[in-house]
Chains A and B, each alone.
Chain A
Amino acid sequence: MRNRIKVERAELDLTQEDLANKIGVSRQTISSIEKNRYVPSTILALKLSALFQKTVNELFFLEESD
C-alpha cells in the first residue's frame, strides 16, 4: 500500500514532528508510514483524513501486489 502523507504534510508545511504531535503519535510512526513500512490502523487513517481534510481513499492506495 502506498500513501500521500508526505505530500499532504508538505502542502501544509508541517514537519513530521508537528504532524505526530497533532495526531498523538511519535515521529517514528509518521516516518514509518511515509516510507510505507507500516500500515496505520483505521483509527489513525481517519485521524490523518480529518487533519488533511481528504478521504482515506485519497490518502492511501492499494498496489497491484495488495
Chain B
Amino acid sequence: MNLEKQSTPCEEEHNRLMKIINFRFPHQYKRIGILAALSILGFLVFYKFYGSNELLVKDLCRTVMLLLLLLASLSKDAVEDEYIKHIRSQSYILAFVGATVYSICLPLLSFFMDLLITKVQGDGSASFQEVSAFEVMFMLICFQLLAFETLKRFSRAQ
C-alpha cells in the first residue's frame, strides 16, 4: 500500500500560490530598480519642459518606470529573514491604505480647491478630476518602498 502523502489539487494550487507570493528578485535588483526609475523620472521631467509632447514616449517611460519600481519592491533585502518578511507585509498593508486614501482624497481636495478658487474668480465652474491609474500605482509602490524602509529604520533604532 502506498503510504506516501498525495497532495490534493487544492494543496497543489495553494503551493503554487505560495511560490508566487514568496517569489523575490536578488537583492542587487533593488538598487538597480530604484536608480533606473529615478533616471526615467528625471528624463520625464526634462522631456516635459524641453522635449516634444509625444504621448507614446511618456506612456512608455511611465510603464517602464512602474516595472522598475515593482522590481525594486519585489527584491530581497540584504538579510532576508522572517522579520523582514513581516515588515514587508506590513509595508504592503500601509501602502494599500495610503494609496486608497490618496486616490480618494486628492480628487476631493482638488475639487474643493477648485470650488474655492472658482468662488473667488466667479466663473462658476468646478471640476472633479480623477486620479490616473499610473498615479495610483506610482504612489502605491512608492508608499510601499518608503514604509518598508521606515519600518526597518524603526527596528534599527530600538
User: Which residues of chain A have a CB within 8 Å of any CB of chain B?
Assistant: 24-26, 28-29, 31-32, 35, 37-38, 40-41, 43-44
Contacts and interface: CB of A to CB of B under 8 A. Distances in A.
B158 A35 contact: yes
B155 A25 contact: no
Contacts, number: 32
Contacts of B152: 28
B22 to A, nearest CB: 14
Tell me if B's interface is mostly helix, strand, loop or mixed: helix
Interface of B: 79, 81-84, 86, 152, 155-156, 158
Most buried by B among A26, A31, A43: A26
Contacts of A37: 155, 158
B158 A31 contact: yes
